[in-house]
Structure 1
Amino acid sequence: RSEVDRNTYSLFELEKGVPTFYYELEKAVADGFLVPPRAHSVPLKFQREGVKYNELSLEEQAEYEEKFWDEENGAMPEKIESSALNNWLFNIDTVDKVLEHLMRYGVKVAGGDRLGKTIIFAKNHNHALFIQERFDKSYPHLKGKFCRVIDNYETYAQTLIEDFSQKESDPIIAISVDMLDTGIDVPEIVNLVFFKLVRSKTKFHQMMGRGTRLCKDLFGSGQDKENFYVFDYCQNFEFFAENPEGIEGGSQESLSKKIFKQRLNLLLLLQQPDIPAGDGLQRLRGSIEDTLHGEVALMNPDNFIVRPHRRHLEKFTKREQWGSLNAEDALEVTLHLAGLPAELPQEDETAKRFDLLLLNLQLALLEKSGSFARNRDKAMEIAARLEGKGTIPMVAQQMELILDLQTESWWAGITLPLLEEIRVRLRELIKFLDKGEAVIVYTDFEDTIGEQSEIFVAGYVSADEMRQYRLKVERFIRDHANHITINKLRMNRQITKQDLEELERLLFTAEEVGNRERFEKVFGHQQSLGMFIRKLVGLDREAASEAFGEFLHNTTYSATQIRFIDQVVSYLTRNGTMDPGLLYEPPFTDLHNEGLDGVFCDAGVTKIIHLLQDIELRAAA
């Protein structure tokens, strides 16, 4: 089969308005499988307004003049913008007030004597270090144990994560810079502190997810975790209330994805028949095959991002698949596996950037590209900077190679295996290089913290509230099944804009449903109200069967194929719509282990996907 036809699920994977991850998280909270947050917005004056010279005390103004007077220009800014705070300006009282607020109002365990497990999301590494420093200063008896920074700069980060994951073990407070935003699974977490701006909806929900795990007997026998607290000092909840979709980053590829793709490109070139067997190239080729296969093998097929690509994952978790890739294989891996999350150990970002530089050099050397000289110069500059770190034992051990790299004559005989040796021997040293960051300023101006206010977080509603309201809405809709729009939705007839307006009028003027705001507080924002109602009422079985009538007409199908379609119809009757990805999961894989692709030919697969799309589109005006 062609690549396009074979990959029908990915080809037809469309945005459904509510991404699978959010739907699953919110539904799990509603069904009692996860716990909801209690969110508190806490106003901090400097965090919101910046530091204004004319609002400081006389003593503070003197400190301001000392630290912000520009000798070169003979001037001083009237205000330091809030964006500078925790970036290059670190104010003692701001951090102290946040920590005091957390220690006073955070959820306690051990009979109320100790703060429960907590993650503080910091803006950057320096911010994280400053928070830990201020905590240790305020609570010297807990210094070095209770509150720890866990990020990519920490040599023993994995050990600290394991310690944090233990119920009664220090640290109790983990200060994270991205490292704990996703992936960590600690049921005992009961406090999240947002001490940085978040503008990505995806990242925001992932961070919130750190606190949602159930935890039995957390507060004593029979006293389970029922919720968790979120303290937001940066108005993130207010931002997402006004901008529900957030501001996602562009389509820029992650560093890990770039490295994966460049390794794949290098492997394809090394597998060409004209590549000689000697000179260490075959060993390099085998090493790259092992590395790529190893990363794919650590992709969890149950991960919500990986799940839609499971068929491709199963194929390439077999080591023999990597021995002789063709162009179609490479395209399949690039489109469906490159960039997917793998359960790999955390690595320093600077080491990974060095990996990418050396991969670019290897490709440029093999392809005789003009980019080789530019990348070589970058490597020589890195070597020169490493030479200046010769007092560090790890650097001193590699000094002979570091000095060689700085001479053009050494590069004259460069080979792919030599470049790989450079990568392996120097990648762990790059973290010792100075990063040329802006000058950091520490101040001690008195900040102002306001009263915290509890705010509603759409989508995270208690199980009882959701169930009761859902029952009322479902009962109301069933009682009005003959309403023209609801009837159209059940019978798979196209609804119009006027139909949708009539439906909204029916729902949001009814006492049982309430206004739109109340509806969305429980169910979240629905981009397609028609689709939402359809999912509640399902499809009429005859209408669902009729949708597949033309597909089945005048064609002879096997008993397995007919049974497959009957299962699709049954699903639509119950649920009203169907994600094509479900056709590659049980019970459909009970009929054939490849699901839809294993039961029907390419044309049949494409037609079925189109029919499911059409059924969905008929519920949208």
Structure 2
Amino acid sequence: MLEHNTFGLFNCEDGLPDYAYSYEEAINNKPPYLSDFEVLRVRTKFQKEGIRKNNISVEEQKKMLADGKEPEEINYEGTDLEKKVSNKGTNALIVQEFMEECIKDNNGTIPGKTIFFAMTKKHARRLEEVFNDFYPEYKGQFAKVIVSDDPRVYRKGGLLDQFVNNDMPRIAISVDMLDTGIDVREIVNLVFAKPIFSYTKFWQMIGRGTRLLDPVKKKPWCVKKDKFLIIDCWDNFEYFQMNPKGKEDKPTKAMPVRLFETRLNKLDLAEHLGEEALVVKITEQIKKDIAKLPKNNVVILDANSKLEKLNDGFWQNLKEEKKIFLRKEITPLMRTRTGEDFDSMSFEINVLNLSIAKLQVSEKQEKRIEMLSEVIIEKVSDLPLEVNTVAKEKELIDAVLNNGYVQKADEEDLDVLIEKLAPLMRFREEGIRPEQDELNLKDVTIEKGYIEFGPHNERLTIQKYKEKVEELIKKLAEENEILQRIKQGEQLDTDDVEELANTLMQYEPYPTEKNLQKAYDARQVRFVDLIKYIMGIGGLVTFSDKVSEAFAEFIATHNTLTAKQIQFLQTLQTFIIENGRLEKKDLINEPFTRIHRLGIRGLFTPNEQEEILEFTNNLLTHA
């Protein structure tokens, strides 16, 4: 949808910025300091529904058989695109939509400067290939992959220099490199061709287009820049509106420091509870951490006098002053431990914190146990069993993924989790997968933020369509007898409403009940009531308002929901508002799989899933 509310996206009240000088102020200043943007949401059929035999045409299936592929074996979720499977038709469609909708140069034929944000380097190369296939007249100069490990990028006159200073290439296809730091004022289009999980990176990517273009310094091939366009192919704006902090939780302290501090916290608690065996075990773990400090590091060499105090006598009776010494003098040294398996450390910290919560019996800790258990289960669920090293622990992994195992685990069980599964976490981030399946199936666009109207299927953004409708109603209200009767509060009969509808259909933008319902987010509101609202007579409870109110009540009445479950329901709320529909299969696809890789199945029991579906079906029927 080509609309946005910057305050809402930043999770601020309208008109009340959180910072001394907000982005909204920067774009509204006279003259503005930053460029504003519009967002066009585009989704394809395969992104939404996945790729399976039942949604591939008979003709396409015949082609697959001719190519030696078995349609019966094709079964991919939308989230598998450019991970487990690549479909040339989907990439081609994204390029076509971009070329049709982008802000173009002064000749109106080709795009202004653009960054495509791709998922992987292979994905970037495939997009480049599509551009080259579609536009052979540019001889490979139209779009270029710009990635950090390409030696052609940085040198004088290299790819980056060409993109910044020359007419061609018009399109830079990037994987991470151009997300931050680059300052190209001429950029007028950004294409989010990948899902984004980090709120910080999300806004850094948007920032690539916000720099103003000085008209005096405008190059001959530059288009005038009063705004830029973001084409969002993966519902990233929808995700961050309901998840304003995103999925990432980047630590401010080095991972080894956090691990050491967590051990000290557990040591304090074990001593307080009189758990002598546990104290001995944790003390040995702390000593092992210290032994791993890099002895030739300059920081460690400077701290030798402190480390020499940690002799055998130091550990025999750990009084309070000794623990203070460990926290104050030794903990900071842990930051020198580099080149280690930080994924393993992160998992161990989660398990240690769960152990601490289990030792502290209280209602508050019950919630924390539940939350930490979810984190651990989610990390374990991400382990790829196709990796042999991981597969050896399949029995333990399956046990962890069974409901209740982690929450019921005792101290010994948690030690086993650390010993067996922490070393496997390094496989989780990369998500090592089998070779990608490559398909060439025609894809179609199923979602787009426009209103189509009139005999020639003209299109306008929703905001522009509303402006035209309101301008038309205002103009006709001065002379149209039925509109004047509405203004005077008279009731209309069926014939009056039909006559008014026919009259309005004689003028652009040819407003119909269906288009007005879409434009004003009012699915169940009748034509005449929408006209009244446009004329300023009476209010309008939007579909969004009804959905938001219903979800707020649902969450309030289910007061045992975890933070992850609430996050899921808030995302579901946004999904319904944005799409106006819901199918069961949607709940195991994006954006829900960003919260848990299994979607609704990973967070709710079968009975809870049915309750949520019944609630949403009822809401969609009556809202």
Q: What is the TM-score with the length of structure 2 in the denominator?
A: 0.41
